[in-house]
Structures are given as structure tokens and as C-alpha cells.
Structure 1
Amino acid sequence: MKQVLEKLTSYSVYLNGSDFLGTADVQLPSLEYLTETVKGAGIAGEVDSPTIGHFGSMTATLNWRAVDPAAVKLAAPVSHALDFRGSMQVYDAGAGGYKSVGVKVSVRAIPKKYDIGKFDIGATTDSSNEFEVTYVKIVIDNKTVVEVDKFNYICIIDGTDYLAAVRENLGM
């Protein structure tokens, strides 16, 4: 049964799991492993070796159409729990029809920048919040597919916790 994930139908932004913040556009964080170049005897050249479970800075940006009170609230210098809850349109080739599948991206984010935007008659202000992300979790159709928690040494990708042995070795 082939399923084609077509597009995000819609989504909303929530603070602390229940406070509706609206429908700001969001640039979600990228997962980029920390790497170290390995070279020497037994290696024909160089390899940028990833440090498993360790990621560079992860940022997220919320873009607003106006100077929104929610954006001001998110400028407070505390960690914010944000949920981006969406519905994806999926074509089910076996059934010959469409269905909606839930997708949720949760982050814990610390503000780095609040850009109030610009005033221009008849135009959006293009206000934005930029955050440093310390935790991200992606759930698709009620299944956790990614969970990265930098402070608690958790790196779950597709059901495997790649830092479980590290936590054990560290006595955590």
C-alpha cells in the first residue's frame, strides 16, 4: 500500500501545549551533526566523521504579518515550549483516495532575536522571532520519528536512541 505525502494542509502554533498563538510562518530547525575530520593511517584521505547524537546550533524562526502580542510574549528571555500542529494531505494509492495525517513538531526554544519589523502603509510588518532550539520532537501519525534533547543526551531517530549507551557510560 503506497502512500504519497503530498503537502501540509494547515497548521497552528501553540505555546505550552494549549495557548493558541496563531498561524505565524515558521522555519523549523535543521539537524546538522557536529563533525571532526578524521585522517591518517588506514584511511584513504579524509572523512568528516559525525559525533553521533551531537548537533550544531539549531534555530527556529517565527515570521509574523503584524506586530503581534504573541511575538512580544515570545521575546521574554526564558525557554518557551512551542508546538507546531499540522495536518498533512496524503494520497493512499491502495484505497484510491486522500486522507489527513497529523504532524506535530515540538521545540523548547530560547529567544535570540525579536525583530519588530517595519512600518509601511498597506503592508505587513514582517516581524519575527528567532530562537535557539535545545529540544525538538517530530511526531507523524502519532509515531515519534525524531527526538533530540541536547541537555538530556537524547537522540532518537526513527525509533533508535543513539545516545542510550552514552548515557549509560556516563552514569545518567
Structure 2
Amino acid sequence: MSVQVNKVYNANVYLDGTLNLIGRASEVALPDLALNLEGHKALGMFGEIQIPTRLNAMKCTIKWTGFYAEHLRAGANPFKAHNLQVRSSLETWTAQGRTREVPVVWHMTASWNTVKLGTLKAGDVADFGGDELRVTQVKVLHDGATVCEIDVFNNIWNVNGEDILARSRANMGI
């Protein structure tokens, strides 16, 4: 069996589908899919198990390379959601070298929780820290195919084409 290594070395951020933010973000921390778990133990069970009850709130952090008025305009209104897209190229490496490159794209609907106005120091480049955004929808595409889609407001959770909340929605009459 041959070893296969997948690497992402670069990405670009887009805001609201049109604003190309090339070179403006130095780091993006994508949302974690973290579950809230409830412990269950009962008579006759040797141990305790944990049962997922819901998805915890998702967040994203973007560290900017400088001051850009567009980010402040977007982030200063906490009541407006924005569409973010992070596009990258996934390289696959094997013993034969780089054998494949495909796009990996993260689509998110998010609103700003924290807008870093910056830290200014004499003689140093200003630091604009990392803005924190609350994410209500995320969709991950690998080579054009949807790997995972979560939309909290619409009660959607699809993984590799499987709607894992379908039975729950039907049971609730949704």
C-alpha cells in the first residue's frame, strides 16, 4: 500500500460572493463541529456512554494583514449575516511526487462577534488580531462534491449525501 499525503498550503477568502480578499487574511480558523454530549449510566451497564444532544455553536476566526474598511463595514453590524467563502487547493503527494490537485471550498454564513480595531505601536506594523465570527451555516466541497453541510436555522445536517436529521425532522412534523 502506497502512502498518500494530502496538504493545503494556501487559500483565499471571499466576502459576500464578490469581494476578493487575496492577501488580506493571514490566517483563517475554520469552525469546529463540536457536539454537546449527555452522559448516560444505568443499572446493568458496566460503564457510562455519551450521547450527542446537539451541535455546539460554530465560530470562525480571521486574522487580517492590515486595516481594510470593507471588513469594518461588514463586521460593525452584528445583526447582518455575510457569506464567506474560503477557497484552497488540496495537493496529493505519493512516492511519484504531486499526483493530484483539487479544490476544497468552505462556504459559510456568518456574523461578526468581535471586530479587532487593531493595536498600534510606534515603528511597528499595526496588528489587527483575529475577528471572531459566529457561523450558522457551513458547507464543505471537495473537488466539487459536497462532503458536509450544516445549516442550523434550517435544521439541515448532510454528510456525504445523507440527510442525518431527516427522521428527527419528520418525527417533529417539520
Q: TM-score band, normalised by the shorter chain?
A: 0.7 to 0.9
* 1:81 aligned partner: 83
Q: Does 1:98 align with 2:99?
A: yes
> Structure 2 counterpart of 1:145, which letter?
V
* 2:162 aligned partner: 160
- Please, what is the CA RMSD of the aligned residues? 2.1
* 2:28 aligned partner: 26
Q: Relative to structure 1, is the Cα distance of residues 160 and 42 closer, same or farther in structure 2, using a 3 angstrom cutoff?
A: farther
Q: Does 1:127 align with 2:129?
A: yes
In structure 2, how many angstroms separate the alpha carbons of the residues matched to 1:68 and 1:100?
A: 31
In structure 2, how many angstroms separate the alpha carbons of the residues matched to 1:60 and 1:92?
A: 32
Q: CA deviation at 1:9?
A: 3.4
In structure 2, how many angstroms separate the alpha carbons of the residues matched to 1:71 and 1:39?
A: 48
Q: Choose the corresponding residue for 1:46, options 33, 45, 48.
A: 48
Greater shift, 103-112 or 5-14, is seen at: 5-14
Q: CA deviation at 1:142?
A: 0.7
* 2:113 aligned partner: 112
More strand by share: 1
Is contact 2:91-2:98 (8 Å) kept? no
> Structure 2 counterpart of 1:60, which letter?
C
Q: Runs of 5+ in structure 2 lacking a partner?
A: none
In structure 2, how many angstroms separate the alpha carbons of the residues matched to 1:90 and 1:119?
A: 41
Give aligned-pair identity as a percent.
Answer: 31
* 1:60 aligned partner: 60
Give the TM-score normalised by structure 2: 0.86
In structure 2, how many angstroms separate the alpha carbons of the residues matched to 1:37 and 1:97?
A: 45
Query: How many residue pairs get matched?
Result: 169
In structure 2, how many angstroms separate the alpha carbons of the residues matched to 1:2 and 1:124?
A: 47
> What secondary structure does 1:48 align onto?
strand
Give the TM-score normalised by structure 1: 0.87
In structure 2, how many angstroms separate the alpha carbons of the residues matched to 1:129 and 1:19?
A: 17
